[in-house]
Amino acid sequence: MSFPAFLRRTAQFWGDRIAVRCGNRTLTYHALDDRSTRLANALHALGLAKGDRVAIQARNCVELVEIECALYKAGLVKAAMNARFSASEVSDLVESCTPRVLIAGPGFTHYHRDTPGFGSVETFVAIGGAVDGYAGYEAMLTSAPATRPDVRMAAADLAVLHFSSGSTGKVKAAMQSYGNRMAAFRKVLLSDGDVRPGDRLALLGPVTHASGMLVQPNLFRGVELVLFERFDPAEFLDAVGQYGITHTMMVPAMVNMILAEPGLDRANLSSLRALSYGAAPMAPARIREAWERIGPILAQGYGASESTSGVARLSIADHAHAIAHRPERLASCGRPFAESEVRVIDEAGNDVSGDAIGEIVIRGEDVFQGYWGAPELTAETVVDGWLRTGDLARVDEEGYLYLVDRKKDMIISGGFNVYPTEVEAALYRHPDVFEACVIGVPDQTWGESVKAVVTLKGGASLHPGDLIAHCRALIADYKAPRSVEFVRELPKNPNGKLARKLVREPYWQGVERRVN
Domain boundaries, the chain: 1-153, 411-508
pLDDT at residue 70 greater than cutoff 60: yes
Q: How many residues does the chain have?
A: 516
CA dist 484 and 467 (Å) reads 8
Contact 301, 334 (CB under 8 A): yes
CA dist 396 and 34 (Å) reads 50
Three-state secondary-structure class, residue 366 = coil
CA dist 238 and 160 (Å) reads 34
Q: Residue 496: what pLDDT? A: 56
Predicted model pTM: 0.85
CATH fold, domain 411-508, is GMP Synthetase; Chain A, domain 3 (3.30.300)
Query: What sections of 131-251 are H helices per DSSP?
Result: 137-143, 178-191, 215-220, 233-243
77: left (phi over 0), alpha (psi -120 to 50) or beta: beta
List, in sequence order, every residue forming a beta bridge with 412; answer none if it has no partner.
Answer: 417
Q: Residue 515: what pLDDT? A: 59
CA angle 61, 67, 72 (to 5 degrees): 145
pLDDT at residue 250 greater than cutoff 50: yes
- Best CATH choice for the domain 1-153 from the list 1.10.760.10, 2.40.30.10, 3.40.50.980, 3.40.50.720: 3.40.50.980
Residue 505: CB partners within 8 Å, gap ≥ 6?
none
pLDDT, averaged across the chain: 92
pLDDT at residue 344 greater than cutoff 60: yes
Q: Is the dihedral of CA 229, 213, 401, 390 positive or negative?
A: negative
pLDDT at residue 509 greater than cutoff 80: yes
pLDDT at residue 389 greater than cutoff 70: yes
CA dist 255 and 188 (Å) reads 21
Q: Other C-beta atoms within 10 Å of 512: how many?
A: 10
CA dist 35 and 401 (Å) reads 43
Three-state secondary-structure class, residue 391 = strand
CA dist 272 and 39 (Å) reads 34
